[in-house]
Structure 1
Amino acid sequence: MQIKIIEDDRAEDIQITIRCPKQDEKLKALLALLQIQDHKCIGKYRGEDHLIPLEDIYYIDTLDKQVYLYTETITYESDLRLYEIEERFIDLDFLRIGKSTIINFQKIKSLRPDLGGRIQVTMKNGIKLFVSRQYAPSLKKRLGVLK
């Protein structure tokens, strides 16, 4: 891979052109990383709304019909439903791993097979989550293990 940066004082915004023989999983992951930089989510913390950059979110889950956004140090509440978050961010490297959980694929530290076809995911902040048997194939596909 070659990277070329051209500084131009006349440019109004960053422009990225990718020239490649064929799109593959590595390129899709790179695009997701680039796109995630421009997206934010609104979360409530101590009665105030905060704009949270998507790259700061480790995972999202629901408890008692309330959706929570987990960053490294703060847990925010969201007014969005889990399916709405999934629809908005699934193409931006977020992956549903269970009925009530979505993870940021870029925040995964390690994976380990678990009983019953589940997969234990350890996030970069040390939190351990489980990919249900139903969602394990989509994780394996994202990893390039399953086609």
Structure 2
Amino acid sequence: MGARMKILKYQKLDLEENRIELYYNKIDQETENIIKIIDSYNKTLTGRNENETTWVHLSDIYYCEIIDRKCYAYLKESIWQVDISLQMLLDQFGSSGFVRISKSMVVNIHKIERLKTDLNMRVNIILDNGETVILNRTYRSQFYQYLEKTRREMK
């Protein structure tokens, strides 16, 4: 493996808006992963609640859940109905950190604070907003494989 990528950060108070520029001589796995992460910040879904519609950024989603055949995106402090199936979300944005944890739920791994196994060997996923979701046993192997793959790609 070659040298690690150098990351330089500068604060410029006179900028009109924040920006990121990425320089590379070839796209290796590390560069590709960083591009995917950066691109995920620009991807949005249309979200609706009782009386408003907004853009929901993928990077703000903690998890999505299907309830009564409708998909809901859970953000830090709000919930939005989004017009996407869980499978379509995984197909289009799985590389952005979304992985299935039950038949009706996907979680954003970038929002996971820690995992905790209880006495019944159930795995509780504690998110960085304090919420807990449960990893279904059926999806446990797939979940850990995704985490391991992501960890390897980030090295």
Q: What's the TM-score bracket when you normalise by the shorter of the two chains?
A: 0.7 to 0.9
Is 2:33 the counterpart of 1:16?
no
Q: How is 1:18-97 mapped onto 2 (pairs within 5 angstroms)?
A: 18=24, 23=29, 30-97=34-101
Partner of 1:100: 104
Taking only the aligned residue pairs, the percentage that are identical comes to 24
For structure 2, list consecutive stretches of 5 or more residues without a partner in the other structure.
11-18
Under a length normalisation based on structure 2, what TM-score does the superposition of the two structures give? 0.74
Aligned residue pairs total 140
Q: Secondary structure at the match of 2:76?
A: coil
Partner of 1:134: 138
- State the 1:21 CA deviation: 10
Superposition CA RMSD, Å:
3.1
Q: Secondary structure at the match of 1:125?
A: coil
Runs of 4+ with deviation above 6 angstroms:
none
Give the Cα separation in 1 of the matches to 2:23 and 2:68: 45
Q: Secondary structure at the match of 2:129?
A: coil
Give the Cα separation in 1 of the matches to 2:105 and 2:91: 13
Letter of the 2:29 partner, please give it.
Answer: Q
Under a length normalisation based on structure 1, what TM-score does the superposition of the two structures give? 0.78
- State the 1:134 CA deviation: 1.8
